[in-house]
Structure 1
Amino acid sequence: MAPLLDVQNLSTSIKLTSSTVHAVDNVSLRVGKGETLGIVGESGCGKSVTGLSIMGLLPPGGAVTGGSIKLNGRELVGLQKEEVRRIRGNQIAMIFQDPLTSLDPTKTIGYQVAEPVRLHRNVSRKAALDRAVEVLGLAGVPQPRERLDNYPHQLSGGLRQRVMIAMALACEPELLIADEPTTALDVTIQAQILALLRDLKERLGMAILLITHDMGVVAGHTDRVCVMYAGQVVETSGVVPLFRETRHPYTRALLASIPRFRQGRENALPAIPGLPPDLSRPPRGCRFAARCFRATEKCRAEEPPLTGPTSAHRYSCWHPLNEPRTLAVSGVDVSGTTGTDLVAPDARSPRTADGIRTSATEHKPETATANGDREGPLLDLRNLVKEYPVGSNAVLRRNAARVKAVSDVSFSMPAGTTFGLVGESGCGKTTIGKMIVALERPDSGSVTFGGVDVAKLRRAELRRERRDLQLVFQDSHSSLDPRMRIGSIIAEPLHAQHWGSRQARRERVFELLAEVGLPKNTVERYPHEFSGGQRQRIGLARALSLNPRLIVLDEPVSALDVSIRAQMLNLMTRLQASHGLTYLVVSHDLTVVRHLADRIGVMYLGKLVEIGSGSDIYERPAHPYTAGLIAAIPLPSPAAEHAKKEPAITGELPSPVHPPSGCRFRTRCRFAQERCAVEEPEPRSFGPGHLAACHFPLRTATPPETTADFAG
């Protein structure tokens, strides 16, 4: 049966001012009708450029330099622009990675969803808007007709992604290209979007090309997989054989880099050393050779062909993995590895995966007492409340509606430990982090650090206290001044605190760069010259410059590939051990928090709903919301993903301006009863240091203990 999409030997280059990037090199793939093909790999491997080449949407300087792209047997390469426009949005549609920047902020949702219908179907404005309402409803947007007059900024991230899906479906395309459709979403919304795409594919019979770097998404939502590295396909097969009989070392390394629930803090994550090659000067031979410990001289001299025992499973490697091992993922045995065969012998334990030697006991957390304290908390938060006025009266703060960002939150942190705050976007995690470092002041409550309430300090006193309090921002790109060199960025806190002489500050910068694994010549370069992982290392170096006691890490690895993420998590663990740091980690990625944190707090709509150790939260959750977050995490196991029937948590997060009465989670909880609407649940004990606020918990409560570390 002829494929719907047939790409053969595709090569795409992007011409820059002084060089040409060979972004896609000799890529071949096929997508059948009603099939989902996943393309997976690190950033810069050519996944998105492949999709843009198919769509005819390459950036300035980009061009298809070789190969063929056929849709239903029709050649797309070389078509006139007008012909491509007739196909794009009609027969082929695309969901872009970032819906906020992809949607026009000056036009309404109705106009943007109806636009492709008017262009391709030549219908009236009313008929196009009626179709917009229909596809918005199909995409799961509540009250779709009421949304027609909304603008993109008025919608949540999940709703904006649904609008993008509705735009793509408006003309019933045969092929849908989804480019990282859930990368910026919480796990709960991600699960809903992926379930929606699967349902739409079955109902409409369309094919999907799913571009992602998440192996869990690939496991649960694709039929076949192409693994790309440095612009080339290195392995391709059905999804089950790929996980069961992995042959290419790069594919195996991607799988092993994923943090697992049962992998404790004492074990460093296997990470792929180094970075992908510069595609303006592709290396000879196998492009993965420089990062592969199995590489030989033949690998560096000759490029391996894409071949295999059958046409259904092919790989390009001179030394393929012939003995697949078993890897336990959340109780499910899937093909993979323990990770010890993925990095060079000198990068294994007792070295971390980024190659820096540590002691055998360095990563082991101390044993906490029942309330999490050892010798008294370094940080103590009591009854924190923070609200923001919104609306037309917000400036004068008179009769303004108020966003209830944080509502009566309390917990403490002993020195040298890591506390993880998890929850969906908008639950108040980042606001708490900002109050800890005094970038925001609470409306009421206290933030006591080392016995001092930082919320009450004057500016001069606060500047001195900030030597011990640092923040690593979520967006490493926008948080670094693009006009400053890296050396000046790292040294800026030293200047502000009048630390040392000019020579001493310069030596301190070099010392910090060495600690985070960056070369000395980094000081002369600018932020845009670095990858996301390197910029995050720079942010860490800056935060460490004054030897702080506590660092708030706001989504420190959310924008990174799985392999670079593993390097960063290992680095953060090593730095904590060597400097005696205390971390507050803010994240919506529960696997990351499980790997880093001693204790974890789960937040929902400004409230702390559960708190406990990592084993309490992940193995014995008491609150339905916690259990739903865990169930929504994509697992790198086709069997485990296909066993999931429906998203564990459905619906949108309620408005923080008008949160639900009683239990704030009740509108999305399948256990909710009338009591939940009228009575706010009090925290109850479910074991030493394990507390949850729920009228109908998933576990039996234990005899009462102090709840001071939960709700004051």
Structure 2
Amino acid sequence: MAPLLEVSNLSTHIQLSRSTVRAVEDVSFHLEAGETLGLVGESGCGKSMTGLSLMGLLPPGGRLLDESSIRLDGRELVGLPDSELRKIRGNEIAMVFQDPMSSLDPTKTIGYQVAEPVRLHRGADKAQALERATEVLALVGLPRPKERLNDYPHHLSGGLRQRVMIAMALACEPKVLIADEPTTALDVTIQAQILTLLADLKDRLGMAMILITHDMGVVAGHADRINVMYAGRIAETTETGKLFSEMRHPYTQGLLASIPRLAQDNAQKLYTVPGLPPDLSDPPAGCRFAARCTYATDRCREEEPELVGSEEDHRFACWHPVDGPLDLTVPTVASAPSEDEAEADAQAEPATETDAEPEADPAAAPVATVTTRAQPEPASHPLLEVTDLAKEFPIASGLFRRSQLSLKAVSGVSLTLGPGQTFGLVGESGCGKTTLGRMIVGLEKPTSGTVTLEGREIASMRERELRRFRRDLQMMFQDPYSSLDPRMRVEAILREPLRIQGMGSGKEQLDRVTELLGEVGLPKSALERFPHEFSGGQRQRIGLARALTLNPKVIVADEPVSALDVSIRAQVLNLMKRLQAAHDLSYVVISHDLAVVKYLADRIGVMYLGKMVELGSGQDIYERPAHPYTAGLLEAIPVPEPEVERGKRGGGIKGELPSPVDPPSGCRFRTRCPFAQEQCAVEEPKMRVFGDGHVAACHFPLQAPVVDAKPSAPTAESAGTSGGEAAAAR
């Protein structure tokens, strides 16, 4: 039997005003009914453009070359008129787009948008279409679907909006579903729910699915076969288990090695793939990965390898194939990139032939560089101390907006941070992490509680005094694109803090920003460019340089790598650790990814709905979690091991975060906790000790508490108002 979807020699070119971008070149694959194909690779490698080409949704100037062929259930789609494609698009082949907020129409209700494809393709009337919309919204697990029909997209959380996008795609029961980065912007807990939902729906409806992602852990548990794409071409293709255990392409090997693991030794530097993907408007000759490959020879730079292999089900395009995963345990740098390249691995321009390494022995496998990082000694007096910090935002409600409710963003959180230390804050979106970070740097005034830096309280300072004091407290924002002024060049962006603080002459300021660019691995030429001219990883480096401008003592890094590819993520994490050692920085790192936080942090605090529910070292949190919420976060992290990921199906934390306007009584996690009992609803749990510096607030913990041990402060009475949290954090 012919495959359900057969793609042959797919080539997509996009004509720009002065050049042609070869976004996809000579891509071929097939897809059977009920099968899931993973497309993985860095941003700009052609994954999303492949999906858009299958849908016939090319950007202006985009076209498929004549040799391209896309056959769906035996019917050729290339060359069909738009009127025929519209009958197929959304009906037989559908797509879940990457960002649901920008893909959903903000002016139309959820019910209207989910019902629309049913009315267009099935000829249903309004009542029938809304009935089908209710049915499919229930199918994707939207709570109270009939009540949600009149809601607008902004009424829903990110996870619920993604479910609506999936419902729209499934409304006409398509044969093929393309899911483009369906979980990139979501918390690990919601991500796990969405991936499980997609897998269950695929099995129930008998669909074929293409899963596009840069996360190797996501495809490990949900794809039957994987195509690794690089610079618009397929670099390697095989079934999932074989790809992870017997990979042959160095790019595949590098992607897998770049992922921070929970078991990662945080004294060992993360492996990185140096450089950036090439400019597809002028791709290099030969192998497109050669400029970044430690095995590259002259042949690689002159001849392009074909997609071949000794086995029909495992093909790769490489002149010097590797043999399995990278060995990350041997502390040698014999054939790895040099230390300077590894640190300044994100040059503004893509790597070129002249940047390439000398010929390397293809049999010699590169290994990760191991560096020793001395653990900072506990300080007798903390550098930063947060005590019983709370923040409530008033909300007007009622007919005349006279009734006052409050959103309880942070409720009685305490922590301490010593010089040169890193404190990690983890939890889902909406748990109060960012609000806590903004209060630490003085961007938000606390409702109650104190923040002190070197014994001086911040909240009570006047604006002028706070502005001077803020030199020592800087923030690295989550989205560098929105936090960098698009109208200012990099030089002006980095000089601005120096100018406002009146530090140095014009020449001294220029010398300082030039020095900073070198420290974060960007060339001097970057000073004259605007933020939109950089990649996401480079913009994050600029954000870090700006935070370093005034030589601060503490940097609050809010989700510093959440939106980055795995290879760029490893580069930024290595850079943060190197700069910490060079400048004796203290970090507060905010993230929903425990693997990232464990790699960076000396101590970790787990937040849930404004409360700190567990505090401990990375080993405590990873190996001996006491709170069910912490264990659920750990279980939800995608692991690049197919056997482990497939064994998780259906596990993890259920449901969505309750509203912080009206949090549950007693333990705030009880509405999602599998161990909750009556006591949890009426009594707020107290912090209990589970080891040296390891405390958690739970009535029914996963570990036995230390008998007769109590947090040292006499006011340590609960997770929310505990002075003992501060003592434990020390």
Letter in 2 for 1:142: P
Q: 1:359 to 1:507 in 2, by over 3 A?
A: farther
Distance in structure 1 (CA, Å) of the matches to 2:369 and 2:216: 31
Contact 1:422-1:586 within 8 A present in 2 as well:
yes
Q: 1:116 to 1:355 in 2, by over 3 A?
A: closer
Residue 263 of structure 2 corresponds to residue 252 of structure 1: no
Residue 241 of structure 2 aligns with which residue?
240
Residue 500 of structure 1, CA deviation: 0.4
Distance in structure 2 (CA, Å) of the matches to 1:340 and 1:506: 42
Residue 526 of structure 2 corresponds to residue 522 of structure 1: yes
User: Counterparts in 2 of 1:172-571, with a 5 A limit?
Assistant: 172-322=173-323, 324-325=324-325, 336-338=326-328, 345=335, 347=337, 354=344, 363-368=373-378, 374-392=379-397, 398-571=402-575
Letter in 1 for 2:9: N
Q: Which runs of 5+ in 1 are unaligned?
A: 326-335, 369-373
Distance in structure 2 (CA, Å) of the matches to 1:163 and 1:350: 47
Tell me the secondary structure at the aligned position of residue 421 of structure 1: strand
Contact 2:345-2:521 within 8 A present in 1 as well:
no
Residue 661 of structure 2 corresponds to residue 657 of structure 1: yes
Tell me the secondary structure at the aligned position of residue 481 of structure 2: coil
Contact 2:271-2:369 within 8 A present in 1 as well:
no
Residue 679 of structure 2 aligns with which residue?
675
Distance in structure 2 (CA, Å) of the matches to 1:488 and 1:351: 27
Q: Deviations over 1:204-225 (max 9, x none)?
A: 0000000001101110000000
Distance in structure 1 (CA, Å) of the matches to 2:400 and 2:376: 48
Any runs of at least 4 consecutive aligned residues in structure 1 with deviations exceeding 3 A, and if so which? 339-356, 358-362, 391-396
Distance in structure 2 (CA, Å) of the matches to 1:360 and 1:83: 57
Tell me the secondary structure at the aligned position of residue 474 of structure 2: strand
Between the two proteins, the alignment pairs up a number of residues equal to 694
Residue 393 of structure 1, CA deviation: 6.8
Contact 1:421-1:601 within 8 A present in 2 as well:
yes
Residue 171 of structure 1 aligns with which residue?
172
Q: 1:709 to 1:520 in 2, by over 3 A?
A: farther
Distance in structure 2 (CA, Å) of the matches to 1:57 and 1:299: 34
Tell me the secondary structure at the aligned position of residue 243 of structure 1: helix
Q: 1:306 to 1:443 in 2, by over 3 A?
A: same
Residue 366 of structure 1, CA deviation: 2.2
Q: Deviations over 1:162-209 (max 9, x none)?
A: 000100000000000000000111011001100001100111000000
Distance in structure 1 (CA, Å) of the matches to 2:94 and 2:270: 38
Contact 2:452-2:458 within 8 A present in 1 as well:
yes
Q: Deviations over 1:444-480 (max 9, x none)?
A: 1101111111111101100110111111110010111
Residue 141 of structure 2 aligns with which residue?
140
Letter in 2 for 1:345: S
Distance in structure 1 (CA, Å) of the matches to 2:625 and 2:377: 20
Q: Deviations over 1:223-259 (max 9, x none)?
A: 0000000000000000011011010000010000000
Residue 18 of structure 1 aligns with which residue?
18
What is the TM-score normalised by the length of structure 2?
Answer: 0.93
Tell me the secondary structure at the aligned position of residue 487 of structure 1: helix
Q: Deviations over 1:625-666 (max 9, x none)?
A: 000000111110011111114221101111111110000000
Q: 1:583 to 1:307 in 2, by over 3 A?
A: same
Contact 2:344-2:520 within 8 A present in 1 as well:
no
Residue 65 of structure 1, CA deviation: 2.0
Distance in structure 2 (CA, Å) of the matches to 1:352 and 1:376: 36
Residue 338 of structure 1, CA deviation: 1.7
Distance in structure 1 (CA, Å) of the matches to 2:115 and 2:497: 51
Distance in structure 2 (CA, Å) of the matches to 1:243 and 1:126: 49
Residue 577 of structure 1, CA deviation: 0.3
Contact 2:589-2:597 within 8 A present in 1 as well:
yes
Distance in structure 2 (CA, Å) of the matches to 1:60 and 1:400: 49
Q: 1:205 to 1:553 in 2, by over 3 A?
A: same
Letter in 2 for 1:710: E
Distance in structure 1 (CA, Å) of the matches to 2:205 and 2:705: 47
RMSD: 1.9
Distance in structure 2 (CA, Å) of the matches to 1:141 and 1:688: 43
Residue 359 of structure 2 aligns with which residue?
none
Residue 122 of structure 2 aligns with which residue?
121
Contact 1:343-1:353 within 8 A present in 2 as well:
no
Contact 1:273-1:343 within 8 A present in 2 as well:
no
Q: 1:74 to 1:473 in 2, by over 3 A?
A: same
Letter in 1 for 2:163: R
What is the TM-score normalised by the length of structure 1?
Answer: 0.95
Distance in structure 2 (CA, Å) of the matches to 1:456 and 1:240: 58
Q: 1:445 to 1:50 in 2, by over 3 A?
A: same
Residue 331 of structure 1 aligns with which residue?
none
Residue 102 of structure 1, CA deviation: 0.6
Letter in 1 for 2:387: R
Contact 2:294-2:337 within 8 A present in 1 as well:
no
User: Percent identity among equivalent residues?
Assistant: 64
Q: Which runs of 5+ in 2 are unaligned?
A: 347-367, 717-722
When structure 1 is superposed on structure 2, of 620-629 and 60-69 the one drifting more is 60-69
Q: 1:608 to 1:61 in 2, by over 3 A?
A: same
Q: 1:593 to 1:50 in 2, by over 3 A?
A: same
Residue 330 of structure 1 aligns with which residue?
none
Distance in structure 2 (CA, Å) of the matches to 1:645 and 1:115: 32
Q: Deviations over 1:76-117 (max 9, x none)?
A: 111111111000000001000011111000000000000000
Distance in structure 2 (CA, Å) of the matches to 1:312 and 1:284: 27
Q: 1:510 to 1:341 in 2, by over 3 A?
A: same
Residue 358 of structure 2 aligns with which residue?
none
Contact 2:343-2:521 within 8 A present in 1 as well:
no
Tell me the secondary structure at the aligned position of residue 466 of structure 1: helix
Distance in structure 2 (CA, Å) of the matches to 1:152 and 1:559: 22
Residue 364 of structure 2 aligns with which residue?
none
Letter in 1 for 2:560: P
Contact 1:94-1:179 within 8 A present in 2 as well:
yes
672, 691, 694: which one pairs with 2:695? 691
Q: Deviations over 1:334-385 (max 9, x none)?
A: xx532769987363679956569x99876232254xxxxx221111111111
Tell me the secondary structure at the aligned position of residue 455 of structure 1: coil
Contact 1:253-1:342 within 8 A present in 2 as well:
no
Contact 1:27-1:232 within 8 A present in 2 as well:
yes
Q: Deviations over 1:248-283 (max 9, x none)?
A: 000010000000112122110000001110101000
Tell me the secondary structure at the aligned position of residue 663 of structure 1: coil
Residue 59 of structure 1, CA deviation: 1.3
Residue 79 of structure 1 aligns with which residue?
80
Q: 1:258 to 1:80 in 2, by over 3 A?
A: same
Contact 1:553-1:585 within 8 A present in 2 as well:
yes
Q: 1:503 to 1:344 in 2, by over 3 A?
A: farther
Residue 65 of structure 1 aligns with which residue?
65
Q: 1:533 to 1:129 in 2, by over 3 A?
A: same
Distance in structure 1 (CA, Å) of the matches to 2:151 and 2:434: 27
Q: 1:339 to 1:125 in 2, by over 3 A?
A: farther
Contact 1:362-1:577 within 8 A present in 2 as well:
no
Residue 710 of structure 1 aligns with which residue?
725
When structure 1 is superposed on structure 2, of 59-68 and 489-498 the one drifting more is 59-68
Q: Deviations over 1:565-602 (max 9, x none)?
A: 00000000000000000000000111110110000000
Tell me the secondary structure at the aligned position of residue 555 of structure 2: strand
